[in-house]
């Protein structure tokens, strides 16, 4: 009996257990996006305010209680980012869009508090969590019924603690001679067929934008099936102060990241979140690109099946040298995917060159196809720079 008592006494109520590095890191970095459970830091906040049991039994009630604490002067950034995590997790489980929007707004308030409030430390791991919750919150709030696209509309949107009037800036939906007609989310997709995936962290929800010409064009132009990399940013002035109100105001801007890679938020220049690889994969997922490879080869001599002989992945940019990609026999422009994906990610190349693609029926004689290429290049230079003022174009 004495031996048993001594043995039992060796197991202390509090102690440590050595773990392998991977297991330890998984426990330390777990959060609502990686484990479907609140992070350890969020659980700490709930215990601090005696809300742990209430959250387990009544998540919506716990969110409302913590919101009151965060807005009546008792809470700070710890409560705000915990609310973002709680709201997103609850939205995932209940499919209530107001909680997705709440997660986005809480995250924004954590990332960009107004003047006079301390911003989070750059070493705080919750910065990345907040940026991801913000981005995904935007996507799920404005998702179409089937989740395949994102539909931004100005209007009055419900929140867990009130309402927010969102004003969508229309200027971001037109680009040169093209109009955005559909937006597809790129964060929650797997990319196959490309060796590397280039994703650049920042603020906002990265999307793939399908476009159509505003005015019909002939000759050299952006490839008809091309999608543009765009990023949506939802902003609020004085977000922490607005959290205490029932009626909030926000604006939503859409940025084409071919044109800009940063934006100003609360007086600071911040990078835009981008994922051009996923956008490229959306384009290349079209069966038409691959089906025409053999079809174009066997379609017959002097066939003219290609609607656009020479096309670009971006609008013409004076000062950048054209690099023209010409595919081989029974092939297509899609075969350049990995190379283009790598080149686009190198700013030393991307900022000096523009990429054009020549598509042709490879069953035609080589000299005939070469003549078509020569003619297309001559017409493109004349259309884009009729006065001959851009030496890079030559």
Q: pLDDT, tens digit, for every residue of 202-236?
A: 999 999 999 998 888 888 888 888 899 999 999 99
pLDDT confidence bin for 274, thresholds 50/70/90: very high
What pLDDT sits at residue 4?
A: 52
| Exposed e or buried b per residue across 83-100, where buried means at least 16 C-beta atoms within 10 angstroms of its C-beta | bbbbbbbbbbeeebbbbb
What pLDDT sits at residue 385?
A: 94
Question: Looking at the chain, which runs of residues are DSSP E strands?
Answer: 155-159, 162-168, 174-175, 178-185, 205-213, 221-222, 227-235, 247-256, 262-265, 268-271, 310-312, 321-326, 353-358
Q: pLDDT, tens digit, for every residue of 100-158?
A: 999 999 999 999 998 888 888 999 999 999 999 999 999 999 999 999 999 999 999 99
User: Does residue 287 surpass a pLDDT of 90?
Assistant: no
User: Does residue 7 surpass a pLDDT of 70?
Assistant: no
Least confident window among 133-142, 216-225, 304-313, 318-327: 304-313
Contact at 8 Å (CB) between 166 and 154? yes
Mean pLDDT of the chain: 91
User: Does residue 34 surpass a pLDDT of 70?
Assistant: yes
| Domain regions of the chain by residue span | 286-393
- In this prediction the pTM is 0.91
CA distance 172 to 385: 26
Contact at 8 Å (CB) between 322 and 381? no
β 221-222/205-213 pair status: unpaired
- How long a stretch of residues is the chain? 394
Average of pLDDT values for 239-249? 95
Q: What DSSP element (H or E) covers 47?
A: helix 40-48
User: Does residue 344 surpass a pLDDT of 80?
Assistant: yes
The residues, ordered by sequence, that sit 6+ positions from 156 with a Cβ below 8 Å of its Cβ are 163, 164, 165, 166
- Reduced to 3 states (helix: H, G, I; strand: E, B; else coil), residue 357 is strand
């Amino acid at each position: 009996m004495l031996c048993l008592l001594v043995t039992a006494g060796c197991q202390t109520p509090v102690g440590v257990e050595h773990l392998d590095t991977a297991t330890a890191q998984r426990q330390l970095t777990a959060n609502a996006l990686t484990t479907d459970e609140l992070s350890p830091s969020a659980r700490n906040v709930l215990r601090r305010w005696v809300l742990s049991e209430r959250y387990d039994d009544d998540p919506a009630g716990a969110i409302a209680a913590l919101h009151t604490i965060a807005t009546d002067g008792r809470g700070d950034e710890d409560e705000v980012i915990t609310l973002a995590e709680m709201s997103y997790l609850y939205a995932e489980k209940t499919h209530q869009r107001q909680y997705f929007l709440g997660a986005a707004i809480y995250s924004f308030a954590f990332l960009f508090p107004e003047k006079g409030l301390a911003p989070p430390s750059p070493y705080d791991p919750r910065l990345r969590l907040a940026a991801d919750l913000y981005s995904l919150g935007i996507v799920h709030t404005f998702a179409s019924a089937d989740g395949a696209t994102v539909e931004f509309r100005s209007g009055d949107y419900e929140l867990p603690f009130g309402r927010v009037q969102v004003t969508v800036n229309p200027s971001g939906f037109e680009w040169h001679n093209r109009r955005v007609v559909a937006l597809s989310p790129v964060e929650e997709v797997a990319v196959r067929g490309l060796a590397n995936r280039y994703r650049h962290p920042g603020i906002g929800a990265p999307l793939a934008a399908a476009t159509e010409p505003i005015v019909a064009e002939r000759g050299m132009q952006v490839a008809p099936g091309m999608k543009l990399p765009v990023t949506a940013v939802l902003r609020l002035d004085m977000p922490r102060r607005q959290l205490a109100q029932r009626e909030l105001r926000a604006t939503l801007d859409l940025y084409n990241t071919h044109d800009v890679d940063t934006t100003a938020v609360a007086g600071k220049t911040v990078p835009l979140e981008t994922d051009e690889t996923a956008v490229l994969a959306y384009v290349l997922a079209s069966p038409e690109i691959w089906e025409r490879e053999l079809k174009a080869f066997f379609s017959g001599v002097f066939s003219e099946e290609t609607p656009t002989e020479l096309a670009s992945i971006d609008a013409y940019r004076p000062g950048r040298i054209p690099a023209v990609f010409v595919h081989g026999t029974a092939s297509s422009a899609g075969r350049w995917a990995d190379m283009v994906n790598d080149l686009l990610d190198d700013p030393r190349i991307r900022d000096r060159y523009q990429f054009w693609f020549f598509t042709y029926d490879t069953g035609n004689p080589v000299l005939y196809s070469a003549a078509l290429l020569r003619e297309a290049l001559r017409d493109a230079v004349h259309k884009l720079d009729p006065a001959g003022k851009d030496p890079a174009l030559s």
